[in-house]
A and B are shown apart, each in its own frame.
Chain A
Amino acid sequence: MGTTVTVGLGSCGIAAGAKNTYEKISALKTAGKLNFILRKTSCVGMCYREPLVEITDDTGTYLYGEVDTDRAAEVIEKHINRHEPIKDYVVYTNLFDAPENDFIGAQVKIVLRNCGHIDPESIEEYENRHGYKAIKKIVAEKISQEEVIDTVLKSGLRGRGGGGFPTGKKWKFARSNKSDDKYVICNADEGDPGAFMDRSVLEGDPHSVLEGMIIAAYAIGATHGVIYCRAEYPLAIKRLNIALEQAHERGYLGKNIFGIEGFDHDIYIKEGAGAFVCGEETALIASIEGERGMPRKRPPFPAVSGLWKKPTNINNVETFANIPWIILKGAEAYARYGTEKSKGTKVFALAGKVRHSGLVEVPMGMTIRDVIFKLGGGIKNNKKFKAVQMGGPSGGCIPEFLSDTIVDYDSVTATGAIMGSGGMVVMDETTCMVDVAKFFLDFTRKESCGKCTFCRMGTKRMLEILDRITKGLGREGDIEKLEELAYQIKDNSLCGLGQTAPNPVLTTIRYFRDEYEAHINQKKCPAKVCRPLLTYQVDPEKCTGCMVCLKNCPVKAITGERKQPHRINQEICTKCGMCLSKCKFEAVMIS
């Protein structure tokens, strides 16, 4: 077996400089006429170690982390030319103890089974790893449409977009409605700030999504497929287009596909134009039809009357990526993972103040603490873990004392958050929970489509209250007013956006009421984030008298002579924070 060198070229990797690494290795290969195969792959999930380079030779597999161009040259020289792996740079291997062995070892990869292993632009590599075998199995064993749906039902797979509706049931509804035209839509409008699972799957393994869609189309009798993808994911769209072309060439899309008489199915991509509400099924349909993405009343459900008034089945990227595995390995194999009501695995995007930010896939039922500490490696800079935000703008903050909650749909919902699409943003003691609530509400207010008054006006009013609390102008009764508005919005909104928009506020009030009270009553921000509540002072011990803060202060509140400690006049200071960010000696203190 020859030696292969694989470079991870997902969006994160590219941002960390993986393209330069790839070009460097490629140049070294040409210059030295080196004998190895150079491959590209996508996200391995270990974003915090990017750029990643994997070398597989006769002895085993070595994953090198943080490979910039210099390190690349060193690795090629020592490992390839002299056959001496550089143990210090290896982050994962099956041969010896490496720092990230546990990170990979604790995961169960079903959705991400191919991510980071195959070249996403090669259909051959997908097929070499059991790609398109699930649909071929259906053909070869003459598995009926009902049996396919039954398998999905039995697997216990629930919608991974966040709602958690059983996928098999959804398919059954869509199948039961008779029509000449039916649609399968893949929802790839991943709008949650802090979530990038779908992007990684589309960039890393686009064929698995196509295969899942083809199987869904077979099961419900759909003729057309649409992938509604964010225009903000250009790399994902590019790779999907390549995958679609390859599938066409092989006859996996088109007429009488896979030799099934009368099974016509074609898929096209529709680029979203940037509206969070389009993650909602009926809004998404309106957007594909070329209108403003505003939700419609249900019923009729899309399964009865969806895109162009035809029966339509909508699933999320991750849901589709699960399907081929389930068909191939069987419902029981899938249901072995997870809890009673939430089967299988879930992909999470770990980010925020966690050491190992990246993509992880874990069986349902793991505790949040294990995800953050075992896989995530704990909190950055030895700070204290405070809370984790799950479910994005529709979710909530789960406090540290509830971190033994297990990840499954029902347990997470019980805390007031939601599973959502799988974003996990970790927060430490320096994160202000009132500020976080304000951040999310600001997002949902901007993204509210404006159809329902309570969502349109209510979120605005809530934001105004939060804004004044963070400015030190909070009044008694503000918390109660926030709660009242929150319940009104939840009860009187048509779609998921409005129904869940107050969740970040409600959960932070529930678990961090003391922080709200500190802002309102003592006019203090315990996490030292809300600037108007802070006092800026110069530490005379550390101040070198360099005059930088003095020159940069926009209101001339700082006085002092060169080489003498400066002073901030509190009466003039507008608390803009400029001195803090300009000081090179950490002499500006906040309290």
Chain B
Amino acid sequence: MRITRIQSGKKPNLVDEPDLSLLDPLIASQKGKKGSLIPLLQGTQEIYGYIPRAAFEKVSYETGIPLSNMFGVVTFYAQFRLHPVGKMIIKVCHGTACHVQQAREISESLEEALKIKDGETTEDRFFTLESVACLGCCSLAPVMMVGDQTYGKLTGNEAVKIVKNIKLAENN
């Protein structure tokens, strides 16, 4: 699995049957602009949390950009997702500073606790576990980010505890 990196943005809207009308303002705002493909795709992902097939087809139809071009770009950049993600994304940093300070242990502990592999989403669609190349908080290594909160100076056990507490808080 390719190392994916974090992205800004709103909470992903978890839907299986995407409301395609949400795309209209985005397509209108990029109409006629040069080099608009990447902003279009980034905007689509902001709306749905990933890029659904139907959205691909609509954007292609309305802008005239061939589907093959769009797919080529989506698979090139680490930011884009082709599958829905959980409500909370756990990003475990695997930058150099974290790597030499046992980031692997954090990922492994979380994989075990959540019973998913890197890049996968839990069955209840609450957590998605990802490895990222660098969160730029090297001084706090090893680091992970859950949602938009960063946690530093972790151990495997601590990471699991944090994630479990988040889940508990959600259930209450």
Residues of chain A having any CB pair with chain B under 8 Å: 11-12, 14-16, 47-48, 50, 190-196, 199, 230-234, 237, 270-271, 273-276, 287-293, 308, 349-353, 357-358, 389, 392, 423, 425, 427, 431, 436, 439-440, 443, 446, 449, 577, 581
Contacts and interface: CB of A to CB of B under 8 A. Distances in A.
Contact of B150 (A14, A190, A349): A14
A357 B139 contact: yes
B165 interface: no
B157 A273 contact: no
A69 B135 CA distance: 25
B137 A293 contact: no
A287 B38 contact: yes
B79 A423 contact: no
B139 A47 contact: yes
Contact of B5 (A232, A288, A440): A232
Interface of B: 2-9, 34-39, 41-42, 69, 72-73, 76-80, 94-97, 99-101, 105, 108-109, 132-141, 143, 150-152, 155-157
Contacts of B76: 275, 292-293, 449
A287 B78 CA distance: 13
B157 A358 contact: no
B101 A353 contact: yes
Given A12-B139, A194-B134, A351 B8 contact: no
A477 to B, nearest CB: 28
A425 B100 contact: yes
A276 B76 CA distance: 11
A231 B42 contact: yes
A291 B35 CA distance: 8
* Majority secondary structure of chain A interface residues (helix, strand, loop or mixed): mixed
7 contacts: A15-B151, A193-B133, A194-B97, A232-B5, A234-B9, A273-B77, A353-B101
A581 B73 contact: no
A274 B77 contact: yes
Given A193-B94, A274-B79, A290 B139 contact: no
Contacts of A270: 35, 38
A389 B96 contact: yes
Contact of B96 (A15, A194, A271, A275): A194
B134 A231 contact: no
Contacts of B101: 352-353
Contacts of A273: 38, 41-42, 77-80
Contacts of A350: 139
Contacts of A446: 2-3
B136 A196 contact: yes
